[in-house]
Amino acid sequence: MLSRSIARHRLMAELVGFLPLIIFLALLTYVGLNAPNFMTLFNLKLVLMQSLPVVLLVTGLSAVVMAGGDDVVSGGIDLSIPATAVLCAGITAVLLASGLSLFVASLAALAAALAAGAVNAVLITRLRMTPLLTTLAMFVALVGINNMVTSRRRINLTDGHIGLLREDFVFGIPLGIVIVALVVLVAYHLLHRTRWGLNLQAAGGSRDAAEISGLKVDRLVAQSYLLAAFMGFLTGFFVLARGNGYSPGVENNLMLEMVLANFLGAAFSPRRVVTMWGAVLGAVLVAAISIGLKTIGVNVFWTDLVKGALILVVVALSAISQRVQ
Residue 170: count other Cβ atoms within 10 Å of its Cβ.
11
pLDDT of residue 235: 96
| Cross-strand pairs, 94 | none
Position 4 confidence tier, pLDDT thresholds 50, 70, 90: low
Give the predicted TM-score (pTM) of the model: 0.88
Average pLDDT over residues 93-107: 93
Domain boundaries, the chain: 47-324
Most confident of 36-45, 99-108, 298-307: 99-108
Please state the φ and ψ torsions of residue 174, each to the nearest 5 degrees: -55, 135
Multiple choice CATH, 47-324, 3.30.420, 1.10.8, 1.20.120, 1.10.3470: 1.10.3470
Q: Is the pLDDT of residue 324 over 70?
A: no
Please state the φ and ψ torsions of residue 246, each to the nearest 5 degrees: -95, 135
Percent of the chain's residues with pLDDT above 70: 90
Q: Give the closest residue to 199 by CA, choosing from 188, 215, 218, 211.
A: 215
- pLDDT tens digits for range 11-31: 666 666 677 777 777 877 888
